[in-house]
Structure 1
Amino acid sequence: MKVKDRMTPKPYATTPDTCVGELWHLMQEKSLQRVPVLDRGKLIGIITRRDFNARPELDLKRSSLATRFFPEEMEQKLSKLRVRDIIPLNQQLITIHQDAFIEQAAKLLRDNRISGLPVIDDEGRMVGIITQSDLSDAFLYILGVNCRGTRLSLRIDDDAQVLLRLGEVLSHFDIKIESMVRMEVKGEKSLLIIRLDTVDSRSIIEEIKAAGFKVESVIVKQ
């Protein structure tokens, strides 16, 4: 699964010439923690809520950050500033290509302790953003947590013949394997999670057990 399959396309963004007050109200209205700054479609920085507090003349710390409106004096100050005036200098921009795999995005997010990654194309233009929430949704989809069908968890030996034996069992039934994930578990046999496109799985499970597999859990979602 690639980043472009799970990213949020066309996220909210701003430009260097945008009025700071306009940007602040957008962030408040849409509950945004950070907004990419684009110049002719290319990412040049990211504005966060912290960057507003970095300007002492705004004095937002003593203002109600929960409100969408400020006193007239504050509104005037916000209207005079542009995004280019508060964007941090020498930002280390961490991005990911749209054709990268989602596990690469997950590693970048974790290694850099950030919650979102701008997604770029071959020309360096920003085409989306992928967040921790997007990756969590992808993980749930892969495991079939919210999908109709049967999700089986099997304990298996690390043996190449395992999949052949399992495939032979499943070939006896008119079903489709939606997904299959192997997970290593420290001190135990590996866990194989299979999602099948059927809710009538009793006979399948019985034959899997008869073939010597240990079925650890079964979840059927109608």
Structure 2
Amino acid sequence: MLLQPAQSEIIPSEVDTTTHISKRISIRIPLVSSPMDTVTESRMAVAIARQGGLGVLHRNLSIEDQAHQVDVVKRSEAGMVDEPITISPDATIGEADELCGLYRISGVPVVDAEMRLLGIVTNRDMRFEHDPTRLVGEVMTKMPLVTGPVGIAGDDAMRLLAQNKIEKLPLVDPQGRLKGLITLKDFVKSDKYPNASKDPQGRLRVGAAVGFFGDAWERAMALIDEGVDLLIVDTAHGHTQGVLDMIRRLKSERAASEVDIIGGNVATFAGAKALVEAGVDGVKVGVGPGSICTTRVVAGVGVPQVTAIHNASRACRPAGVPVIGDGGLQYSGDIAKALVAGADTVMLGSLLAGCDESPGDLVFINGKQFKTYRGMGSLGAMAARGRKPSYSKDRYFQSDVGTDDKLIAEGIEGQVPYRGPVEAVAYQLVGGLRQSMFYTGAGTITELQERGSFVRITSAGLRESHPHDIQMTVEAPNYSGQ
């Protein structure tokens, strides 16, 4: 099917692609990175949030590792870091250097046991030190430092940084205790990424996937403690009692009151309605449409994605619950089709798996670059890795399977073409969406959903839609040969 053109009074650069991923969270572009272990870890989550979308961290990690990834995203960019990384003066500069490398920061405030600011140790202090066992207290820049009061305005903080030619401004209370940290790089990043998805504290937004079985509750609470913005109770079949019970429990938990809860995956009106009645803030739609998913073949179960999105939206829209179309996207034009069908955002796997920021390995095959990509239902994702258990089995309701050779795979492993940085890929995808909105005369996502209409095409029409009767010699950045 295709979208039909309509009278337009707007040009692509004037359209507004802002939308909601959940009831309380809006994003500037309708792109969400999938919680897959070859797609989204902290680096991808940071990159996609800076473009105006949102990343969802996969759960094929220990609780500690996944929570740490949330922390990394939250610390990557902040208007003010209210719990800055600190170090003791009795630590070694080797430990300080390791801490800076872990969090990708250039310096660490030095405090005593009562959090009183004693100084700061930076790369500049350690650059010419050759003994990693030297104590931080011996090489740090000691007090008095240029500091600011708690609650300082952004403009005043920037003025202090500029006047004193410093990159970090510790915030202290009247007793000299460290209460926060403002860095110059955050102002620079705010200017460079004006559309970034940020929480009320100025930190990048990030989501994370959890299950409903075993350690799921402990995992959810750990992620909430680290400041995650939304949780997705993420399973292959969201219309199940265990998923509904987990959603209700999270929605009733006081600690989770500031975190939006999304449920999935479903593919029917009844499934979406059940999630809405359980209290979700968003519904994730898609059973088997992914390029690496074999559920529709192995289990013989699924619903074509446009139909699934449309049916789910009929249950979600009256309740004001956003829909996430998860999977089945090959080109930028498919994003617009998903939105017209009823989605508010789309979740991307293969389109982002080839980016620099994805965790997959980069490989060369016949002179071309590829990155590894696998389904979370593949044997590689569900199987134990040495002594490390798999946290993906329960997504496919196989946590009770004792040995790897008894697993029933619902996905494959492969590779996708290397695509470069997320920034370039997101630009092309959103650019294609802007063109779609121009052709249909829609200035906003809401108008696109209301005004867009489909026309059914045949297989001949599909062939006509693609380049034909020509040998392609140069690939476009948004279209490659099949």
TM-score range (shorter-chain normalised) is 0.3 to 0.5
Q: Select the structure that is richer in strand.
A: 1
Q: What TM-score comes out, normalization by structure 2 length?
A: 0.23
